[in-house]
Amino acid sequence: MPKMISHSWGNNKRTFAEHQTHFQIPNVAETIVNSHSLGVIPRGAGRSYGDQALVSDGLMISLTQQGDSMDLEVHNSGLVSVKGDMTIGELLDATMPLGWILPAIP
């Protein structure tokens, strides 16, 4: 697995970790099971100011490149199912025309 430097959205933290990209949930689960003692964290669009999606000397599973991130399902109740790499902007672009808006927008 290649090791890469990743940085936070605010660009104030950097980590050096192994990276993998998976396109299907069963592959992600298998990777986690086989990670042994490595710390494992999924990473979506990488735009969290809290730096939750960074791991040092572990394994970062990239959820980007899953295909069309605009592939989402909006239920009549307002519940939305999205892929891990969708941004808030993309979510708003898809839901606002349907009459839905997030209860809190950064």
Tokens at residue 103, please? 């209860």
Tokens at residue 93, please? 């672009």
pLDDT digits (tens, 9 = 90+) for 59-103: 887 777 655 545 677 887 878 888 777 888 888 888 888 888 888
* Contact assessment for residue 37 and residue 59, using Cβ atoms and an 8 Å cutoff: no
- Residue of 38 and 89 predicted with greater confidence: 89
Instruction: Taking residues 44-58, report their average pLDDT.
Output: 71
- Residue of 66 and 32 predicted with greater confidence: 32
pLDDT of residue 55: 78
Name the E strands within the chain.
3-7, 14-21, 40-43, 59-62, 73-74, 80-81
Average pLDDT, the chain: 76
H or E segment and range at residue 40: strand 40-43
Give bridge partners of residue 40 from the DSSP assignment. Answer: 59
pLDDT of residue 70: 59
